[in-house]
Amino acid sequence: MFTHTKRLRPAVLPATSPVLSGFCLALPERLVTSAEIDLRLGKPEGWLEGACGVASRPVAGANETQEGLGAAAARGALLDAGLQLDDVSLMLFGAAVGRQPIPATAPLIKRELGGGKLNFPAYDVNATCLSALVGLDLAALNIAAGRARHVLVVTSEIASRALPWADAPETAGLFGDGAAAFVVSAAGTGQKSGARFGGFYMETFADGYDACTLAAGGTGIDFHADPDAFARSAYFRMDGKALYRITAAALTGFLDRLLGRSGLARKDIDLVVPHQASPHALTHIVRRGGFPAALVFDRVRTIGNLVAASIPTALCMARAEGLIRPGMRILLIGTSAGVSLAGAVLET
C-alpha cells in the first residue's frame, strides 16, 4: 500500500541529534460504539455515526485514571527504548486538560511510575491537541542543548468527563480517552536506533481562540461568585464551521512553509500521520494538503479524537500495523484549539 525510496542515513549521528527511541500507547479497556450511544440517547441506530463519522471510541471506566493510563504508556515506551526510569533526564506531560489546575499533572505521573524520590524535572505542556508535537520539539531542543540525554514525553486524556451530550452530541461523539508516550534520546546513548527528528514548525491564528473552549476551571469564571455559570461552562464547546474556515485558509500555506523549512516537498513524504480530529478533518488534509489518500493514516472512525494523545497513538498504531519501515520520511501534523497548526518530520 505504501511505497518509498530507501534513503541512506549518516553512519553516526552527532551526539546531540534527537531520535525517537521508543513509544507506546495505553487505551481504556472499554470500546463504546455509536450504536450503544444511539440507544442511550433514544436515537435510531446509525444516527450518531452518521452525524460525526465515528463508529467507536475508547472510554475510561470508573477505575481507570488519567495518571494510570499515562503511566502505563510511559512504562511501555521506556521498555520499548530499553531504558529504566532513572535513565530519564526530563519528563514532559501533555494534555488539553490535566487532572486538576494545581499542581501540574507531570509530577503525579512521575509518582505513579515510582519516581517520587528521583530528582529529574517533570512539568506540563499544554498545546491541547498539539501537545505531543510541542513536547517532541521541547525534548529535541533540550537534547540539542546538551541538557538532557533521554526525555520521556507522556500524553493522557479523559475527554469523556466534559462532553456536551445534552446539546451537541455530534461533537461529543468525536472524542475518546487514551494515552500514549514516547522517549526522545540523544543519538549514540546506547539505546536501539530510532526515528530521527527532522524538524518542527508551528503557527497560531489567535482569531480562532473562541472556536474551541472549555471555559470552567481557570480564572475566567469565578465559581464562588457564579457557580451556575461555572457549571454551564464545564462542557467542551466547538464551533466546527469557524475551525474549518481558519484551517482551510491556512493549511496549504502552512504545509508549504513546514516542508520548505525541512528542505522537503510533498513527494518526499512516505506517510502522513495526522491528528485524528474527525473524519472531515482527515478528508480536508487529503483534499487541501496535496497528499494521496493512501499515504494518510486514518483510523479516526474506530478510535475517535484522543486530543493530545491522538498523534502519538496514531503513530503507535501505524507501527503496529507494519506501515513504518526503514528509510521512510513521516510527517506528523495536526491542529489545535487556539487555533494552531503544527507539524514535525521523522526519518526512520
Point out the residues that are catalytic.
Answer: 129, 275, 305
CB 226 within 8 A of CB 260: no
* Burial grade of 174 (CB within 10 A; 0-12, 13-18, 19 or more): buried
Is-contact 27 64, C-beta < 8 A? no
- One-letter-per-residue 3-state SS of 116-185: CCCCCCEEEECCHHHHHHHHHHHHHHHHHCCCCCEEEEEEEEEHHHHCCCCCCHHHHCCECEEEEEEEEE
CA-nearest of 312, 303, 321 to 273 is 312
Question: If residue 108 lies in a helix (H) or strand (E), which one and from where to where?
Answer: helix 106-112
d(CA 88, CA 241): 42
Q: Which residue's C-alpha cell is 507522556?
A: 154
Q: How far is 193 from 205, CA to CA, in rounded Å?
A: 37
CA distance 109 to 91: 9
